[in-house]
Protein backbone atom coordinates (compact mmCIF):
# COMPACT_ATOMS: atom_id res chain seq x y z
CA UNK A 1 0.00 0.00 0.00
CA UNK A 2 1.30 3.44 -0.90
CA UNK A 3 0.09 6.76 0.43
CA UNK A 4 -0.23 9.15 -2.52
CA UNK A 5 -1.66 12.00 -0.42
CA UNK A 6 -2.95 12.30 3.19
CA UNK A 7 -6.36 10.92 2.16
CA UNK A 8 -5.37 8.84 -0.87
CA UNK A 9 -4.08 5.26 -0.78
CA UNK A 10 -2.88 3.11 -3.65
CA UNK A 11 -3.29 -0.66 -3.27
CA UNK A 12 -1.45 -3.02 -5.60
CA UNK A 13 -2.78 -6.57 -5.85
CA UNK A 14 -0.66 -9.70 -6.12
CA UNK A 15 -2.87 -10.58 -9.09
CA UNK A 16 -1.60 -8.98 -12.31
CA UNK A 17 -0.29 -6.04 -10.23
CA UNK A 18 -3.75 -4.50 -10.29
CA UNK A 19 -3.95 -0.99 -8.90
CA UNK A 20 -6.86 0.23 -6.79
CA UNK A 21 -7.24 3.66 -5.22
CA UNK A 22 -9.23 4.97 -2.26
CA UNK A 23 -9.44 8.73 -1.88
CA UNK A 24 -11.53 10.93 0.38
CA UNK A 25 -12.51 14.47 1.25
CA UNK A 26 -14.67 15.97 3.99
CA UNK A 27 -17.62 15.55 1.60
CA UNK A 28 -17.15 11.94 0.59
CA UNK A 29 -14.98 9.22 -0.79
CA UNK A 30 -14.23 7.33 -3.97
CA UNK A 31 -12.79 3.94 -4.70
CA UNK A 32 -11.38 3.11 -8.14
CA UNK A 33 -11.22 -0.47 -9.52
CA UNK A 34 -11.00 -2.45 -6.23
CA UNK A 35 -9.12 -5.73 -6.82
CA UNK A 36 -8.41 -8.65 -6.66
CA UNK A 37 -8.15 -11.35 -3.97
CA UNK A 38 -10.85 -11.33 -1.27
CA UNK A 39 -8.44 -10.33 1.51
CA UNK A 40 -7.08 -7.51 -0.66
CA UNK A 41 -10.60 -6.27 -1.40
CA UNK A 42 -11.38 -6.46 2.34
CA UNK A 43 -8.47 -4.12 3.10
CA UNK A 44 -9.62 -1.70 0.40
CA UNK A 45 -13.19 -1.92 1.69
CA UNK A 46 -12.08 -1.14 5.26
CA UNK A 47 -10.24 1.97 4.07
CA UNK A 48 -13.20 3.03 1.95
CA UNK A 49 -15.66 2.60 4.84
CA UNK A 50 -13.37 4.61 7.08
CA UNK A 51 -13.26 7.48 4.59
CA UNK A 52 -16.98 7.32 3.84
CA UNK A 53 -18.84 10.60 4.30
CA UNK A 54 -21.94 11.94 2.55
CA UNK A 55 -21.18 11.32 -1.14
CA UNK A 56 -19.52 8.02 -1.89
CA UNK A 57 -18.55 6.60 -5.26
CA UNK A 58 -17.31 3.34 -6.67
CA UNK A 59 -15.65 4.18 -9.97
CA UNK A 60 -14.61 1.78 -12.72
CA UNK A 61 -12.09 2.60 -15.44
CA UNK A 62 -13.76 -0.01 -17.69
CA UNK A 63 -15.85 -3.14 -17.54
CA UNK A 64 -13.21 -5.89 -17.79
CA UNK A 65 -13.85 -8.38 -14.99
CA UNK A 66 -10.62 -7.60 -13.14
CA UNK A 67 -11.70 -3.95 -12.78
CA UNK A 68 -15.34 -4.37 -11.72
CA UNK A 69 -15.09 -6.77 -8.79
CA UNK A 70 -16.66 -4.22 -6.46
CA UNK A 71 -16.40 -3.99 -2.69
CA UNK A 72 -18.78 -6.73 -1.61
CA UNK A 73 -22.19 -6.49 -0.02
CA UNK A 74 -23.72 -3.55 1.83
CA UNK A 75 -21.41 -0.85 0.58
CA UNK A 76 -23.44 2.24 0.01
CA UNK A 77 -21.72 3.89 -2.95
CA UNK A 78 -22.82 5.25 -6.30
CA UNK A 79 -21.34 3.07 -9.05
CA UNK A 80 -20.05 4.92 -12.12
CA UNK A 81 -18.74 3.70 -15.46
CA UNK A 82 -18.63 5.00 -19.02
CA UNK A 83 -21.91 4.46 -20.83
CA UNK A 84 -20.62 1.88 -23.34
CA UNK A 85 -20.16 -0.56 -20.46
CA UNK A 86 -23.94 -1.02 -20.38
CA UNK A 87 -23.73 -2.73 -23.77
CA UNK A 88 -21.18 -5.33 -22.61
CA UNK A 89 -22.12 -8.96 -22.15
CA UNK A 90 -22.20 -8.94 -18.36
CA UNK A 91 -22.81 -12.67 -18.10
CA UNK A 92 -19.75 -13.39 -20.22
CA UNK A 93 -17.64 -11.10 -18.00
CA UNK A 94 -18.91 -12.97 -14.93
CA UNK A 95 -18.02 -16.29 -16.61
CA UNK A 96 -14.50 -15.03 -17.27
CA UNK A 97 -14.07 -14.06 -13.61
CA UNK A 98 -15.36 -17.46 -12.48
CA UNK A 99 -12.90 -19.17 -14.83
CA UNK A 100 -9.90 -17.26 -13.43
CA UNK A 101 -11.07 -17.89 -9.86
CA UNK A 102 -11.64 -21.60 -10.50
CA UNK A 103 -8.16 -21.95 -11.99
CA UNK A 104 -6.72 -20.39 -8.80
CA UNK A 105 -9.00 -22.56 -6.55
CA UNK A 106 -10.39 -19.28 -5.26
CA UNK A 107 -13.79 -18.89 -3.64
CA UNK A 108 -15.27 -15.44 -3.91
CA UNK A 109 -18.01 -14.50 -1.47
CA UNK A 110 -20.32 -13.04 -2.62
CA UNK A 111 -19.79 -14.59 -6.06
CA UNK A 112 -18.94 -12.16 -8.83
CA UNK A 113 -21.78 -10.41 -10.58
CA UNK A 114 -21.34 -7.40 -12.83
CA UNK A 115 -22.08 -4.36 -10.64
CA UNK A 116 -25.39 -2.59 -10.86
CA UNK A 117 -24.47 0.72 -12.50
CA UNK A 118 -26.10 3.83 -11.11
CA UNK A 119 -24.47 6.56 -13.12
CA UNK A 120 -22.87 6.69 -16.56
CA UNK A 121 -21.28 9.38 -18.66
CA UNK A 122 -20.52 9.76 -22.34
CA UNK A 123 -17.53 12.05 -22.69
CA UNK A 124 -16.64 13.49 -19.26
CA UNK A 125 -17.93 13.49 -15.71
CA UNK A 126 -16.69 15.90 -13.04
CA UNK A 127 -17.55 14.93 -9.46
CA UNK A 128 -16.31 18.23 -7.97
CA UNK A 129 -19.82 19.54 -7.41
CA UNK A 130 -20.36 16.57 -5.08
CA UNK A 131 -17.21 17.34 -3.15
CA UNK A 132 -14.94 14.79 -4.85
CA UNK A 133 -12.39 16.49 -7.12
CA UNK A 134 -12.23 13.71 -9.69
CA UNK A 135 -12.72 14.00 -13.43
CA UNK A 136 -13.57 10.95 -15.55
CA UNK A 137 -12.68 11.20 -19.23
CA UNK A 138 -13.67 8.69 -21.90
CA UNK A 139 -10.50 7.30 -23.53
CA UNK A 140 -11.57 4.35 -25.70
CA UNK A 141 -9.23 1.96 -27.47
CA UNK A 142 -8.34 -0.78 -25.01
CA UNK A 143 -12.09 -1.24 -24.66
CA UNK A 144 -14.94 0.90 -25.95
CA UNK A 145 -15.81 2.00 -22.41
CA UNK A 146 -12.31 2.81 -21.14
CA UNK A 147 -11.83 5.98 -19.12
CA UNK A 148 -9.09 7.75 -17.20
CA UNK A 149 -9.78 9.31 -13.81
CA UNK A 150 -7.86 12.45 -12.85
CA UNK A 151 -7.60 13.90 -9.35
CA UNK A 152 -7.94 17.64 -9.86
CA UNK A 153 -6.02 18.67 -6.72
CA UNK A 154 -3.53 15.94 -5.86
CA UNK A 155 -1.75 15.58 -9.21
CA UNK A 156 -2.39 11.92 -9.96
CA UNK A 157 -4.44 10.03 -12.52
CA UNK A 158 -5.59 6.40 -12.74
CA UNK A 159 -5.46 5.60 -16.45
CA UNK A 160 -7.03 2.13 -16.53
CA UNK A 161 -5.37 -0.32 -18.89
CA UNK A 162 -2.95 2.13 -20.50
CA UNK A 163 0.63 3.31 -19.78
CA UNK A 164 1.63 0.14 -17.97
CA UNK A 165 5.31 -0.62 -17.50
CA UNK A 166 4.60 -4.36 -17.51
CA UNK A 167 2.16 -4.53 -20.43
CA UNK A 168 2.05 -2.97 -23.87
CA UNK A 169 -1.14 -1.63 -25.49
CA UNK A 170 -3.81 -4.32 -25.52
CA UNK A 171 -6.20 -3.08 -28.18
CA UNK A 172 -9.58 -4.75 -28.02
CA UNK A 173 -11.81 -1.92 -29.23
CA UNK A 174 -10.12 0.15 -31.93
CA UNK A 175 -6.57 0.90 -32.92
CA UNK A 176 -7.46 4.41 -34.07
CA UNK A 177 -9.31 5.15 -30.84
CA UNK A 178 -6.39 3.83 -28.79
CA UNK A 179 -4.03 6.14 -30.67
CA UNK A 180 -6.34 9.14 -30.22
CA UNK A 181 -6.62 8.41 -26.51
CA UNK A 182 -2.83 8.21 -26.15
CA UNK A 183 -2.57 11.49 -28.04
CA UNK A 184 -5.09 13.16 -25.73
CA UNK A 185 -3.27 12.29 -22.50
CA UNK A 186 -0.47 14.94 -22.47
CA UNK A 187 -2.93 17.82 -22.81
CA UNK A 188 -5.14 16.32 -20.08
CA UNK A 189 -2.15 15.90 -17.77
CA UNK A 190 -1.03 19.47 -18.46
CA UNK A 191 -4.46 20.96 -18.01
CA UNK A 192 -5.19 19.20 -14.73
CA UNK A 193 -1.70 19.22 -13.24
CA UNK A 194 -1.19 15.45 -13.34
CA UNK A 195 2.26 14.46 -12.11
CA UNK A 196 2.01 10.75 -11.27
CA UNK A 197 0.20 8.15 -13.32
CA UNK A 198 -1.31 4.92 -11.99
CA UNK A 199 -1.73 2.21 -14.60
CA UNK A 200 -4.38 -0.48 -14.20
CA UNK A 201 -1.50 -2.98 -13.90
CA UNK A 202 2.10 -2.32 -12.93
CA UNK A 203 4.15 0.30 -11.18
CA UNK A 204 3.22 3.91 -10.56
CA UNK A 205 4.82 6.32 -13.04
CA UNK A 206 6.03 8.78 -10.43
CA UNK A 207 6.52 11.71 -12.75
CA UNK A 208 5.37 13.01 -16.10
CA UNK A 209 8.66 12.07 -17.75
CA UNK A 210 8.11 8.40 -16.92
CA UNK A 211 4.48 8.57 -18.10
CA UNK A 212 5.68 10.19 -21.32
CA UNK A 213 8.35 7.51 -21.79
CA UNK A 214 5.68 4.80 -21.57
CA UNK A 215 3.34 6.72 -23.87
CA UNK A 216 6.04 7.18 -26.51
CA UNK A 217 6.96 3.48 -26.27
CA UNK A 218 3.32 2.47 -26.75
CA UNK A 219 2.85 4.80 -29.74
CA UNK A 220 6.02 3.39 -31.30
CA UNK A 221 4.74 -0.15 -30.89
CA UNK A 222 1.39 0.72 -32.52
CA UNK A 223 3.22 2.58 -35.31
CA UNK A 224 5.47 -0.41 -35.98
CA UNK A 225 2.54 -2.80 -36.25
CA UNK A 226 0.60 -0.40 -38.45
CA UNK A 227 3.50 0.36 -40.80
CA UNK A 228 4.27 -3.28 -41.38
CA UNK A 229 0.61 -4.06 -42.01
CA UNK A 230 0.31 -1.12 -44.39
CA UNK A 231 2.97 -2.81 -46.51
CA UNK A 232 1.55 -6.30 -46.22
CA UNK A 233 -2.21 -5.75 -46.52
CA UNK A 234 -2.24 -4.00 -49.95
CA UNK A 235 0.12 -6.70 -51.22
CA UNK A 236 -2.61 -9.23 -50.46
CA UNK A 237 -1.06 -10.89 -47.40
CA UNK A 238 -3.59 -12.85 -45.36
CA UNK A 239 -3.75 -12.64 -41.57
CA UNK A 240 -1.59 -15.73 -41.05
CA UNK A 241 1.19 -14.26 -43.13
CA UNK A 242 0.85 -10.92 -41.35
CA UNK A 243 1.09 -12.63 -37.96
CA UNK A 244 4.21 -14.49 -39.01
CA UNK A 245 5.84 -11.21 -40.07
CA UNK A 246 5.10 -9.60 -36.68
CA UNK A 247 6.87 -12.07 -34.42
CA UNK A 248 10.03 -10.01 -34.06
CA UNK A 249 8.35 -6.72 -33.15
CA UNK A 250 9.83 -5.34 -29.96
CA UNK A 251 8.36 -3.10 -27.30
CA UNK A 252 10.73 -0.60 -25.72
CA UNK A 253 13.63 -2.48 -27.32
CA UNK A 254 12.62 -5.78 -25.70
CA UNK A 255 11.06 -8.84 -27.32
CA UNK A 256 7.45 -9.49 -26.40
CA UNK A 257 7.41 -12.01 -23.53
CA UNK A 258 5.70 -15.34 -24.28
CA UNK A 259 2.85 -14.69 -21.80
CA UNK A 260 1.87 -11.50 -23.67
CA UNK A 261 2.22 -12.90 -27.18
CA UNK A 262 -1.46 -13.76 -27.52
CA UNK A 263 -2.32 -10.08 -26.88
CA UNK A 264 0.18 -8.98 -29.52
CA UNK A 265 -1.44 -11.38 -32.00
CA UNK A 266 -4.86 -10.06 -31.01
CA UNK A 267 -3.63 -6.53 -31.71
CA UNK A 268 -2.26 -7.55 -35.11
CA UNK A 269 -5.57 -9.20 -36.04
CA UNK A 270 -7.62 -6.20 -34.92
CA UNK A 271 -5.43 -3.68 -36.75
CA UNK A 272 -5.36 -5.95 -39.83
CA UNK A 273 -9.16 -5.96 -40.05
CA UNK A 274 -9.34 -2.27 -39.21
CA UNK A 275 -7.03 -1.50 -42.15
CA UNK A 276 -9.07 -3.76 -44.42
CA UNK A 277 -12.50 -2.49 -43.48
CA UNK A 278 -11.93 0.94 -41.96
CA UNK A 279 -12.55 1.95 -38.35
CA UNK A 280 -15.68 0.92 -36.50
Task: Select the span of 57-65, 173-181, 189-197, 264-272 touching Fe ion (CB under 5 A).
Answer: 57-65
- Does 161 bind Fe ion (CB under 5 A)? Our answer is yes
d(CA 181, CA 172): 14
* C-beta separation of 186 from 211 below 8 A: no
* C-beta separation of 19 from 198 below 8 A: yes
Per rule CB under 5 A, count of chain residues that contact Fe ion: 4
d(CA 140, CA 179): 9
Within residues 181-210, the interface with Fe ion by CB under 5 A covers: 200
Give the residue nearest to Fe ion (CB): 64
- CB of 101 or CB of 161, closer to Fe ion: 161
- Does 47 bind Fe ion (CB under 5 A)? Our answer is no
Of the candidate residues 33, 40, 47, 66, the single one contacting Fe ion (CB under 5 A): 66
Of the candidate residues 64, 101, 167, 218, the single one contacting Fe ion (CB under 5 A): 64
Task: Select the span of 58-66, 99-107, 113-121, 187-195 touching Fe ion (CB under 5 A).
Answer: 58-66
d(CA 83, CA 144): 9
CB of 232 to Fe ion, least distance (A): 28
DSSP 230-243: HHHTTTT--HHHHH
Residue 80's beta-bridge partner residues? 59, 119
Alpha helices in 107-259 (DSSP H): 175-191, 208-232, 239-244
First to last CA, the chain: 40
CB of 197 to Fe ion, least distance (A): 15
- CB of 56 or CB of 177, closer to Fe ion: 177
Task: Select the span of 41-49, 64-72, 97-105, 182-190 touching Fe ion (CB under 5 A).
Answer: 64-72
Query: Which residues of the shown chain bind Fe ion in the complex (CB under 5 A)?
Result: 64, 66, 161, 200
Amino acid sequence: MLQLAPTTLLFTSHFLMQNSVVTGTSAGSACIDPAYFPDEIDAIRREFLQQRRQNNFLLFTHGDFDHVLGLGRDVDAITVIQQQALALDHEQIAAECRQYDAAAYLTREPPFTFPRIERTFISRLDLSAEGIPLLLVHTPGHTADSAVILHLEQGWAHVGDMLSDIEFPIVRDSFRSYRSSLELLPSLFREYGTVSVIPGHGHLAADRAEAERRRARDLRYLDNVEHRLRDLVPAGADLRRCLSRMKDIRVGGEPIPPYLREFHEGNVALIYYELLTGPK
